[in-house]
Structure 1
């Protein structure tokens, strides 16, 4: 089935061009046949010749302004297989109704009036018209029946309640995904201590308000080396306690369980920072 689909797709792409070329040649043959019939007005009669000429004009108008447009639309702008088939079918329906069917009736009537005339141009045109009629009739009947069956199935068949009631609002998930989400909710992953900055959630046990010697109110006392040094608010983690050195140089000691994480705009790491 995959091989057939791959082989049939290029043929389907070339089908609009093939239909356009075939029907253009068929129109030329019909016009020439009209000229042939007019030269034998005494055999076919004026009404039959005028009817043949009228449907030649109508079929030419339908071909150039409707069918050929839909076929080129299918060839150039169809985005998928369904759109291409639909546009091809619409153009073929127009040609079947306005050219193949009426011209077959008229040329069959002309054949019944004169009979087989030893391979005249009218007889050759009739054979060609039968070929066009059989092909377009089978394709039109097949596509119309296909689309009508789909329409009835959507309206009256088993697919109708499924479209309205069978679909749920939520998209179902696999059982493995549900179990993973439940486990992640009950046991959230912990962040590594060494990748975060911390602060004591409770008041510190020891604190000094000693002033940082590197700070000064005078511009002349500016210490470039101290200013360029990394900030002193670093943390060291021991087995049970955590010591944090703040901006003022004080050392704050607290239990590891008293820590909490806070977001910081100065943090550029992959984890949220704590100020």
Structure 2
């Protein structure tokens, strides 16, 4: 109860400060948020923003632990998707779940720093960094901060080993053939995760055959479980009827943030 009151107090402060719907500097999540791994430990995790293998090129603010924190209704829907996939010898793998506002702010600051092109060769090889906001790749708000939006993919079981990313290693375009891209153990989706390129659009005409079929398999499973799609990013889904549609939370991604 004490943790819940802290969150509610933070929301009230933010409204009084003129930023309705944004909860700033919370230390704990509402009881409606849970650690997905505790509810369904069969779902695989690859929480990229806790690592240096992301478009920022370093661990992102607010990711204290590599956890997938989501709202309870989203967890139940993900369990349904996972059960169906496992019957076909497949599994979900989570790239990102709840994302604190401080992480979104980190992304925005990175995008505004035009001199930082450390990860361009992999994540946005054909996109000018000056257009990242205009093109919709970076925003000052994210549905992830509401707790019911997830980034994920599908892995064939048993999951193949995935080597760790080595900071400073040569980077390969996120839309290069799967045999050349970073050896993520996902089934081939036509691009890597967080690929800032039109080829990441679910129905980009250059994506066909098996990669398109794989995208549609993920899309169909998520829609059937109650998620709506964001077709500009094949990996991105939001729960229909999410419990916090207007609140953007900022508690850190850490076990200590959770009530249980």
- Scaled by the length of structure 2, the TM-score of the pair is 0.21
User: Over alpha carbons, which structure has the higher Rg?
Assistant: 1
More strand by share: 2
- Higher RCO (C-alpha under 8 Å, 6+ residues apart): 2
- Scaled by the length of structure 1, the TM-score of the pair is 0.21
